[in-house]
Structure 1
Amino acid sequence: MKLILQWIFCFSLGFVTECQEKRYGLSGGSITLNLDLGNRSHLQDVMWRRFNRQELLANLKGVHPDIKRRMSLNVLDRSLTIHDLQENDSGMYEALDSWEKESLASYSLTVENNVSEPAIEVHGYNSSAGVCRATVNCSADGNWAQFDCDQHLCLEKDAFLTSVNITVTASDSVHCHARNHVSERRAQTSIMCHEKQQSFSRFLSPSFGSPRWSAVGFCWFCWVWEQYLSREENLQKFIHSPALL
Protein backbone atom coordinates (compact mmCIF):
# COMPACT_ATOMS: atom_id res chain seq x y z
CA MET A 1 0.00 0.00 0.00
CA LYS A 2 2.87 2.34 0.86
CA LEU A 3 4.47 1.70 -2.54
CA ILE A 4 1.19 2.42 -4.36
CA LEU A 5 0.77 5.72 -2.49
CA GLN A 6 4.37 6.65 -3.33
CA TRP A 7 3.75 6.07 -7.05
CA ILE A 8 0.50 8.08 -6.94
CA PHE A 9 2.32 10.93 -5.20
CA CYS A 10 5.21 10.94 -7.66
CA PHE A 11 3.16 10.82 -10.81
CA SER A 12 0.60 13.33 -9.57
CA LEU A 13 3.44 15.81 -9.07
CA GLY A 14 5.18 14.86 -12.29
CA PHE A 15 8.35 13.69 -10.52
CA VAL A 16 8.65 10.60 -12.69
CA THR A 17 12.43 10.36 -12.43
CA GLU A 18 12.26 10.09 -8.63
CA CYS A 19 9.99 7.05 -8.90
CA GLN A 20 12.02 5.11 -11.42
CA GLU A 21 13.21 1.65 -10.49
CA LYS A 22 16.92 1.33 -11.14
CA ARG A 23 17.96 -1.71 -13.17
CA TYR A 24 21.39 -2.81 -14.36
CA GLY A 25 22.16 -5.06 -17.31
CA LEU A 26 25.31 -6.73 -18.63
CA SER A 27 26.45 -5.65 -22.08
CA GLY A 28 25.58 -8.42 -24.54
CA GLY A 29 23.04 -9.97 -22.18
CA SER A 30 19.28 -9.61 -21.77
CA ILE A 31 16.97 -7.93 -19.29
CA THR A 32 13.20 -7.95 -18.75
CA LEU A 33 11.28 -4.90 -17.59
CA ASN A 34 8.19 -6.20 -15.82
CA LEU A 35 4.81 -4.56 -15.53
CA ASP A 36 2.59 -5.16 -12.50
CA LEU A 37 -0.86 -4.82 -13.98
CA GLY A 38 -2.66 -5.42 -10.68
CA ASN A 39 -6.29 -4.43 -11.27
CA ARG A 40 -5.37 -3.01 -14.68
CA SER A 41 -5.73 -6.32 -16.56
CA HIS A 42 -8.67 -4.76 -18.40
CA LEU A 43 -6.33 -2.39 -20.25
CA GLN A 44 -6.73 -2.87 -23.96
CA ASP A 45 -3.23 -1.71 -24.78
CA VAL A 46 0.07 -0.87 -23.15
CA MET A 47 2.75 1.22 -24.81
CA TRP A 48 6.44 1.06 -23.98
CA ARG A 49 8.50 4.18 -24.64
CA ARG A 50 12.01 5.26 -23.73
CA PHE A 51 14.22 8.33 -23.52
CA ASN A 52 11.54 10.59 -21.95
CA ARG A 53 8.79 9.13 -24.16
CA GLN A 54 10.53 10.24 -27.33
CA GLU A 55 10.81 6.77 -28.86
CA LEU A 56 7.97 4.24 -29.20
CA LEU A 57 9.23 0.73 -28.61
CA ALA A 58 6.22 -1.58 -28.52
CA ASN A 59 2.50 -2.03 -27.95
CA LEU A 60 0.14 -4.98 -28.27
CA LYS A 61 0.29 -4.66 -32.04
CA GLY A 62 3.97 -5.54 -31.94
CA VAL A 63 7.49 -4.17 -31.61
CA HIS A 64 8.76 -1.30 -33.74
CA PRO A 65 10.36 -2.77 -36.91
CA ASP A 66 13.66 -0.97 -36.34
CA ILE A 67 14.26 -2.73 -33.01
CA LYS A 68 12.30 -5.94 -33.46
CA ARG A 69 15.50 -7.99 -33.62
CA ARG A 70 16.54 -6.89 -30.15
CA MET A 71 13.27 -6.41 -28.26
CA SER A 72 10.22 -8.51 -27.57
CA LEU A 73 6.89 -7.91 -25.83
CA ASN A 74 5.08 -10.54 -23.79
CA VAL A 75 1.42 -10.11 -24.75
CA LEU A 76 0.23 -11.83 -21.55
CA ASP A 77 1.95 -9.74 -18.87
CA ARG A 78 3.04 -6.84 -21.16
CA SER A 79 6.68 -7.15 -20.01
CA LEU A 80 9.39 -5.86 -22.31
CA THR A 81 12.59 -7.85 -22.88
CA ILE A 82 15.70 -6.25 -24.37
CA HIS A 83 18.25 -8.60 -25.94
CA ASP A 84 21.92 -8.08 -26.80
CA LEU A 85 22.16 -5.08 -24.50
CA GLN A 86 24.35 -2.18 -25.65
CA GLU A 87 25.60 0.79 -23.66
CA ASN A 88 23.37 3.12 -25.71
CA ASP A 89 20.35 1.20 -24.37
CA SER A 90 20.90 2.95 -21.05
CA GLY A 91 18.18 5.41 -20.21
CA MET A 92 14.60 5.82 -19.03
CA TYR A 93 11.88 3.30 -19.99
CA GLU A 94 8.15 3.79 -19.35
CA ALA A 95 5.04 1.69 -19.76
CA LEU A 96 1.94 3.83 -20.51
CA ASP A 97 -1.75 3.22 -21.02
CA SER A 98 -3.15 3.39 -24.54
CA TRP A 99 -3.86 7.14 -24.22
CA GLU A 100 -0.43 7.75 -22.74
CA LYS A 101 -2.04 9.54 -19.81
CA GLU A 102 -1.05 7.13 -17.06
CA SER A 103 2.43 5.83 -16.37
CA LEU A 104 2.18 2.17 -15.38
CA ALA A 105 5.88 1.54 -14.74
CA SER A 106 9.11 3.47 -15.02
CA TYR A 107 12.69 2.17 -15.14
CA SER A 108 16.12 3.72 -15.23
CA LEU A 109 18.32 1.23 -17.07
CA THR A 110 22.12 1.26 -16.97
CA VAL A 111 24.09 -1.14 -19.18
CA GLU A 112 27.57 -2.02 -17.92
CA ASN A 113 30.49 -4.05 -19.28
CA ASN A 114 32.32 -6.82 -17.49
CA VAL A 115 34.92 -5.42 -15.13
CA SER A 116 38.50 -5.84 -16.30
CA GLU A 117 40.98 -7.74 -14.18
CA PRO A 118 42.35 -5.26 -11.63
CA ALA A 119 46.02 -4.25 -11.65
CA ILE A 120 47.89 -4.16 -8.34
CA GLU A 121 51.01 -2.16 -7.50
CA VAL A 122 52.69 -2.55 -4.12
CA HIS A 123 55.45 -0.16 -3.06
CA GLY A 124 56.78 1.81 -0.11
CA TYR A 125 57.64 -1.24 1.98
CA ASN A 126 58.27 -0.44 5.62
CA SER A 127 58.99 -3.09 8.21
CA SER A 128 59.20 -2.01 11.84
CA ALA A 129 58.28 -3.46 15.23
CA GLY A 130 57.56 -6.80 13.58
CA VAL A 131 54.85 -5.30 11.33
CA CYS A 132 55.15 -5.09 7.56
CA ARG A 133 53.43 -2.12 5.91
CA ALA A 134 53.10 -1.17 2.27
CA THR A 135 51.16 1.17 0.00
CA VAL A 136 48.86 -0.70 -2.38
CA ASN A 137 47.40 0.80 -5.58
CA CYS A 138 44.55 -1.10 -7.23
CA SER A 139 43.03 0.02 -10.54
CA ALA A 140 40.49 -1.18 -13.11
CA ASP A 141 38.81 0.49 -16.08
CA GLY A 142 40.05 3.99 -15.25
CA ASN A 143 39.08 3.69 -11.59
CA TRP A 144 41.69 3.43 -8.84
CA ALA A 145 42.08 3.32 -5.08
CA GLN A 146 45.12 3.56 -2.82
CA PHE A 147 45.38 1.69 0.48
CA ASP A 148 47.76 1.53 3.42
CA CYS A 149 48.12 -2.16 4.26
CA ASP A 150 49.82 -4.41 6.79
CA GLN A 151 49.59 -8.19 7.04
CA HIS A 152 46.00 -8.14 8.32
CA LEU A 153 44.31 -4.84 7.45
CA CYS A 154 44.04 -2.34 4.59
CA LEU A 155 42.76 1.21 5.04
CA GLU A 156 41.79 3.39 2.07
CA LYS A 157 43.88 6.55 1.68
CA ASP A 158 42.63 7.99 -1.61
CA ALA A 159 40.42 6.94 -4.51
CA PHE A 160 38.90 7.90 -7.85
CA LEU A 161 35.83 5.74 -8.43
CA THR A 162 33.18 6.41 -11.06
CA SER A 163 31.82 3.14 -12.44
CA VAL A 164 33.73 0.48 -10.48
CA ASN A 165 33.92 -0.12 -6.75
CA ILE A 166 37.38 -1.21 -5.52
CA THR A 167 38.23 -2.78 -2.17
CA VAL A 168 41.48 -4.30 -0.90
CA THR A 169 41.91 -6.90 1.84
CA ALA A 170 45.07 -8.47 3.29
CA SER A 171 45.91 -11.78 4.90
CA ASP A 172 49.09 -13.50 3.78
CA SER A 173 48.59 -11.73 0.45
CA VAL A 174 46.94 -8.56 -0.81
CA HIS A 175 43.60 -9.16 -2.54
CA CYS A 176 42.07 -6.54 -4.85
CA HIS A 177 38.33 -6.74 -5.62
CA ALA A 178 36.88 -4.70 -8.50
CA ARG A 179 33.14 -4.82 -9.09
CA ASN A 180 30.27 -2.99 -10.73
CA HIS A 181 26.56 -3.88 -10.60
CA VAL A 182 26.82 -6.83 -13.00
CA SER A 183 30.30 -8.38 -12.60
CA GLU A 184 33.30 -8.78 -10.32
CA ARG A 185 37.00 -9.55 -10.84
CA ARG A 186 39.80 -10.23 -8.35
CA ALA A 187 43.58 -10.21 -8.32
CA GLN A 188 46.18 -10.79 -5.64
CA THR A 189 49.86 -10.34 -4.91
CA SER A 190 52.22 -10.85 -1.97
CA ILE A 191 53.74 -8.37 0.46
CA MET A 192 57.48 -8.90 0.07
CA CYS A 193 58.63 -7.59 3.43
CA HIS A 194 56.17 -9.92 5.11
CA GLU A 195 57.80 -12.85 3.32
CA LYS A 196 61.25 -11.65 4.43
CA GLN A 197 60.07 -11.50 8.01
CA GLN A 198 58.77 -15.04 7.73
CA SER A 199 62.12 -16.23 6.31
CA PHE A 200 63.99 -14.50 9.13
CA SER A 201 61.67 -16.09 11.68
CA ARG A 202 62.31 -19.51 10.16
CA PHE A 203 66.06 -18.84 10.42
CA LEU A 204 65.70 -18.15 14.14
CA SER A 205 63.54 -21.20 14.71
CA PRO A 206 65.37 -24.05 16.51
CA SER A 207 63.73 -26.76 14.42
CA PHE A 208 66.06 -29.42 13.06
CA GLY A 209 67.08 -28.84 9.45
CA SER A 210 66.55 -25.08 9.72
CA PRO A 211 69.24 -22.63 8.49
CA ARG A 212 70.33 -22.08 12.12
CA TRP A 213 71.13 -25.74 12.68
CA SER A 214 72.76 -25.99 9.25
CA ALA A 215 75.16 -23.23 10.28
CA VAL A 216 75.93 -25.03 13.55
CA GLY A 217 76.64 -28.26 11.66
CA PHE A 218 78.98 -26.47 9.27
CA CYS A 219 80.96 -24.94 12.15
CA TRP A 220 81.27 -28.35 13.83
CA PHE A 221 82.62 -29.85 10.60
CA CYS A 222 85.21 -27.05 10.36
CA TRP A 223 86.36 -27.74 13.94
CA VAL A 224 86.71 -31.49 13.28
CA TRP A 225 88.66 -30.83 10.07
CA GLU A 226 90.97 -28.42 11.89
CA GLN A 227 91.66 -31.02 14.60
CA TYR A 228 92.45 -33.63 11.95
CA LEU A 229 94.94 -31.36 10.16
CA SER A 230 96.61 -30.50 13.47
CA ARG A 231 97.08 -34.18 14.30
CA GLU A 232 98.55 -34.88 10.86
CA GLU A 233 101.00 -32.01 11.23
CA ASN A 234 102.15 -33.20 14.64
CA LEU A 235 102.54 -36.76 13.33
CA GLN A 236 104.79 -35.62 10.48
CA LYS A 237 106.94 -33.60 12.85
CA PHE A 238 107.36 -36.65 15.09
CA ILE A 239 108.34 -38.95 12.19
CA HIS A 240 111.03 -36.56 10.92
CA SER A 241 112.37 -35.57 14.30
CA PRO A 242 116.27 -36.06 14.90
CA ALA A 243 115.63 -38.47 17.74
CA LEU A 244 114.21 -41.02 15.31
CA LEU A 245 117.03 -40.50 12.82
Structure 2
Amino acid sequence: METRLIFISLCLGTILSAAEEVKENLTGVVGGSITLPDPLLERGFLLYGPEIIASVRNKVFQIEEETYLNKLLWDTETGFFTITDLQRNNSGVYRFDSKKGRSLKSSYQLTVYDSVPPPAVKALSVSSDGCSLLCSVDREATLLWFKGEQILNQSSSASSLPLTVNTEDLRSSYRCVAANPAENKTLTVDVRTKCGLNSTESEAENKIRHCNSC
Protein backbone atom coordinates (compact mmCIF):
# COMPACT_ATOMS: atom_id res chain seq x y z
CA MET A 1 0.00 0.00 0.00
CA GLU A 2 2.83 2.38 0.92
CA THR A 3 4.62 1.67 -2.38
CA ARG A 4 1.43 2.47 -4.27
CA LEU A 5 1.02 5.80 -2.46
CA ILE A 6 4.62 6.75 -3.23
CA PHE A 7 4.04 5.91 -6.91
CA ILE A 8 0.86 8.03 -7.03
CA SER A 9 2.64 10.95 -5.35
CA LEU A 10 5.47 10.77 -7.88
CA CYS A 11 2.97 10.74 -10.75
CA LEU A 12 1.11 13.73 -9.35
CA GLY A 13 4.40 15.57 -8.88
CA THR A 14 5.34 14.92 -12.50
CA ILE A 15 1.93 16.10 -13.75
CA LEU A 16 2.08 19.29 -11.67
CA SER A 17 5.64 19.98 -12.76
CA ALA A 18 4.67 19.58 -16.41
CA ALA A 19 1.65 21.85 -15.91
CA GLU A 20 3.87 24.56 -14.43
CA GLU A 21 6.42 24.47 -17.27
CA VAL A 22 5.83 27.19 -19.83
CA LYS A 23 7.26 26.90 -23.34
CA GLU A 24 7.60 29.81 -25.74
CA ASN A 25 9.23 30.39 -29.12
CA LEU A 26 11.50 33.43 -29.34
CA THR A 27 13.31 34.95 -32.30
CA GLY A 28 16.35 37.20 -32.54
CA VAL A 29 18.63 38.77 -35.12
CA VAL A 30 22.41 38.34 -35.43
CA GLY A 31 24.08 41.22 -33.59
CA GLY A 32 20.90 42.10 -31.71
CA SER A 33 19.70 41.27 -28.21
CA ILE A 34 16.75 39.57 -26.59
CA THR A 35 15.24 39.70 -23.09
CA LEU A 36 13.76 36.49 -21.73
CA PRO A 37 10.12 37.00 -20.68
CA ASP A 38 10.24 35.73 -17.08
CA PRO A 39 12.02 37.52 -14.18
CA LEU A 40 14.29 35.84 -11.66
CA LEU A 41 14.33 38.06 -8.61
CA GLU A 42 16.11 36.21 -5.82
CA ARG A 43 17.20 32.60 -6.38
CA GLY A 44 17.40 30.33 -9.39
CA PHE A 45 19.24 29.34 -12.54
CA LEU A 46 19.31 29.97 -16.26
CA LEU A 47 20.22 26.95 -18.37
CA TYR A 48 21.13 26.49 -22.03
CA GLY A 49 20.12 22.94 -22.84
CA PRO A 50 21.25 20.84 -19.85
CA GLU A 51 23.99 23.30 -18.82
CA ILE A 52 23.67 26.00 -16.16
CA ILE A 53 24.98 29.24 -17.68
CA ALA A 54 24.03 31.68 -14.90
CA SER A 55 22.75 31.72 -11.34
CA VAL A 56 21.14 34.20 -8.97
CA ARG A 57 21.46 33.76 -5.21
CA ASN A 58 20.19 36.41 -2.81
CA LYS A 59 20.20 38.92 -5.68
CA VAL A 60 23.83 38.13 -6.52
CA PHE A 61 24.27 37.36 -10.23
CA GLN A 62 26.99 35.00 -11.41
CA ILE A 63 27.94 33.75 -14.89
CA GLU A 64 28.58 30.01 -14.73
CA GLU A 65 29.57 29.52 -18.38
CA GLU A 66 32.55 31.52 -19.63
CA THR A 67 31.23 32.01 -23.15
CA TYR A 68 28.44 34.20 -21.72
CA LEU A 69 30.77 36.67 -20.01
CA ASN A 70 29.98 40.23 -21.22
CA LYS A 71 27.12 38.72 -23.21
CA LEU A 72 24.50 37.81 -20.61
CA LEU A 73 23.08 40.57 -18.40
CA TRP A 74 20.76 40.46 -15.40
CA ASP A 75 18.76 43.45 -14.21
CA THR A 76 18.83 43.60 -10.41
CA GLU A 77 15.58 45.60 -10.27
CA THR A 78 13.40 43.76 -12.77
CA GLY A 79 15.02 40.32 -12.59
CA PHE A 80 15.11 39.94 -16.39
CA PHE A 81 17.93 38.23 -18.30
CA THR A 82 19.12 39.80 -21.56
CA ILE A 83 21.35 38.04 -24.08
CA THR A 84 23.33 40.55 -26.17
CA ASP A 85 25.35 40.31 -29.42
CA LEU A 86 23.28 37.36 -30.62
CA GLN A 87 24.90 34.87 -33.00
CA ARG A 88 23.43 31.96 -34.91
CA ASN A 89 25.02 29.48 -32.48
CA ASN A 90 23.02 31.06 -29.64
CA SER A 91 19.92 29.35 -31.03
CA GLY A 92 18.60 26.62 -28.77
CA VAL A 93 16.52 25.94 -25.66
CA TYR A 94 16.96 28.22 -22.64
CA ARG A 95 15.39 27.13 -19.39
CA PHE A 96 14.59 29.29 -16.41
CA ASP A 97 14.41 27.50 -13.04
CA SER A 98 13.23 29.51 -10.03
CA LYS A 99 13.92 28.13 -6.55
CA LYS A 100 12.20 30.92 -4.62
CA GLY A 101 8.62 30.46 -3.44
CA ARG A 102 6.46 28.63 -6.01
CA SER A 103 8.79 26.73 -8.33
CA LEU A 104 8.19 27.79 -11.91
CA LYS A 105 10.05 26.24 -14.82
CA SER A 106 9.92 28.03 -18.15
CA SER A 107 11.69 27.06 -21.34
CA TYR A 108 12.24 29.12 -24.48
CA GLN A 109 13.16 27.92 -27.93
CA LEU A 110 15.32 30.74 -29.29
CA THR A 111 16.06 30.92 -33.01
CA VAL A 112 18.56 33.52 -34.19
CA TYR A 113 18.28 34.66 -37.81
CA ASP A 114 20.57 36.65 -40.07
CA SER A 115 19.47 40.26 -40.44
CA VAL A 116 16.99 40.82 -43.26
CA PRO A 117 18.63 42.45 -46.31
CA PRO A 118 17.17 45.84 -47.28
CA PRO A 119 14.94 45.68 -50.38
CA ALA A 120 15.68 47.66 -53.52
CA VAL A 121 13.20 48.51 -56.28
CA LYS A 122 13.75 49.31 -59.95
CA ALA A 123 11.43 49.93 -62.90
CA LEU A 124 11.53 47.24 -65.59
CA SER A 125 9.26 48.83 -68.16
CA VAL A 126 6.70 51.56 -68.77
CA SER A 127 3.77 51.10 -71.13
CA SER A 128 0.28 52.36 -71.82
CA ASP A 129 -1.01 49.83 -69.28
CA GLY A 130 1.19 51.06 -66.42
CA CYS A 131 4.60 50.35 -64.94
CA SER A 132 6.39 47.10 -64.14
CA LEU A 133 8.52 47.09 -60.97
CA LEU A 134 10.94 44.61 -59.47
CA CYS A 135 11.75 44.39 -55.74
CA SER A 136 14.98 42.54 -54.99
CA VAL A 137 17.29 41.59 -52.10
CA ASP A 138 20.85 40.25 -52.10
CA ARG A 139 19.84 36.96 -50.43
CA GLU A 140 16.59 35.08 -50.15
CA ALA A 141 13.89 36.33 -47.78
CA THR A 142 10.13 36.54 -47.62
CA LEU A 143 9.14 39.33 -50.02
CA LEU A 144 5.81 41.14 -50.08
CA TRP A 145 4.33 43.94 -52.18
CA PHE A 146 1.75 46.12 -50.43
CA LYS A 147 -0.71 48.66 -51.79
CA GLY A 148 -1.69 50.52 -48.65
CA GLU A 149 -2.39 47.65 -46.23
CA GLN A 150 -3.36 45.17 -48.96
CA ILE A 151 -0.91 42.44 -49.98
CA LEU A 152 -0.68 42.34 -53.77
CA ASN A 153 2.09 39.79 -54.26
CA GLN A 154 4.30 37.68 -51.99
CA SER A 155 6.85 34.90 -51.96
CA SER A 156 8.04 32.99 -48.88
CA SER A 157 11.59 32.50 -50.21
CA ALA A 158 12.84 34.64 -53.07
CA SER A 159 15.51 37.12 -54.09
CA SER A 160 13.16 39.18 -56.28
CA LEU A 161 9.44 39.81 -56.70
CA PRO A 162 7.76 41.66 -59.59
CA LEU A 163 4.71 43.93 -59.54
CA THR A 164 2.75 45.58 -62.33
CA VAL A 165 1.02 48.84 -61.39
CA ASN A 166 -1.91 49.76 -63.60
CA THR A 167 -2.19 53.29 -65.00
CA GLU A 168 -5.17 54.19 -62.79
CA ASP A 169 -3.26 53.15 -59.66
CA LEU A 170 -0.03 55.08 -60.24
CA ARG A 171 -0.78 57.57 -57.46
CA SER A 172 -1.47 54.87 -54.83
CA SER A 173 0.96 54.09 -52.00
CA TYR A 174 3.15 51.02 -52.49
CA ARG A 175 5.66 49.24 -50.24
CA CYS A 176 8.05 46.37 -50.75
CA VAL A 177 8.77 44.44 -47.54
CA ALA A 178 11.60 41.95 -46.92
CA ALA A 179 11.01 39.80 -43.85
CA ASN A 180 11.99 36.77 -41.81
CA PRO A 181 10.45 35.50 -38.55
CA ALA A 182 12.59 37.92 -36.51
CA GLU A 183 12.33 41.25 -38.36
CA ASN A 184 11.26 43.08 -41.49
CA LYS A 185 12.51 45.99 -43.56
CA THR A 186 10.24 48.19 -45.66
CA LEU A 187 10.85 50.35 -48.72
CA THR A 188 8.12 52.83 -49.64
CA VAL A 189 7.96 53.34 -53.40
CA ASP A 190 6.85 56.49 -55.22
CA VAL A 191 5.76 54.75 -58.41
CA ARG A 192 5.50 57.94 -60.46
CA THR A 193 9.09 58.91 -59.63
CA LYS A 194 10.42 55.36 -59.99
CA CYS A 195 8.81 55.03 -63.41
CA GLY A 196 9.93 58.46 -64.61
CA LEU A 197 6.52 60.09 -64.23
CA ASN A 198 7.37 62.78 -61.68
CA SER A 199 6.54 65.69 -64.00
CA THR A 200 2.83 65.91 -64.68
CA GLU A 201 3.50 67.00 -68.26
CA SER A 202 6.36 64.59 -68.90
CA GLU A 203 6.56 62.75 -72.16
CA ALA A 204 6.42 59.40 -70.37
CA GLU A 205 3.22 60.33 -68.53
CA ASN A 206 1.57 61.49 -71.73
CA LYS A 207 2.54 58.19 -73.24
CA ILE A 208 0.80 56.24 -70.48
CA ARG A 209 -2.30 58.48 -70.50
CA HIS A 210 -2.90 58.75 -74.23
CA CYS A 211 -1.11 55.93 -76.04
CA ASN A 212 -3.60 53.30 -77.19
CA SER A 213 -1.01 51.03 -78.68
CA CYS A 214 2.76 51.02 -78.27
Query: How far did 1:75 drift?
Result: 4.8
Letter in 1 for 2:46: W
Mapped partners of 1:111, 1:167: distance in 2 = 29
Q: What does residue 23 of structure 1 align with?
A: 26
Distance 1:9 1:118, change over 3 A: farther
Q: What does residue 63 of structure 1 align with?
A: 63
The answer on whether the counterparts of 1:49 and 1:55 sit within 8 Å (CA) in structure 2 is yes
Higher strand share: 2
Distance 1:58 1:109, change over 3 A: same
Structure 1 stretches lacking a partner, 5+ long: 1-7, 205-245
Q: 1:155 aligns with which of 152, 157, 179?
A: 152
Q: TM-score, length-normalised on structure 1?
A: 0.51
Look at both structures and tell me which one has the larger radius of gyration over its CA atoms: 1
Q: 2:35 aligns with which of 23, 27, 32?
A: 32
Matched, 1:116 2:113: no
Higher helix share: 1
Q: How many residue pairs are counted as aligned between the two chains?
A: 174
Mapped partners of 2:104, 2:197: distance in 1 = 61
Structure 2 stretches lacking a partner, 5+ long: 1-13
Mapped partners of 2:205, 2:16: distance in 1 = 61
The answer on whether the counterparts of 1:34 and 1:78 sit within 8 Å (CA) in structure 2 is no
Q: TM-score, length-normalised on structure 2?
A: 0.57
Segments ≥4 residues shifted beyond 6 Å: 166-170, 192-195, 201-204
- Identity of matched residues, %: 21
Matched, 1:88 2:89: yes
Matched, 1:12 2:10: no
Distance 1:89 1:125, change over 3 A: same
The answer on whether the counterparts of 1:120 and 1:187 sit within 8 Å (CA) in structure 2 is no
Distance 1:97 1:144, change over 3 A: closer
Q: What does residue 106 of structure 1 align with?
A: 107
Distance 1:104 1:201, change over 3 A: closer
Letter in 1 for 2:90: D
Q: What does residue 176 of structure 1 align with?
A: 176
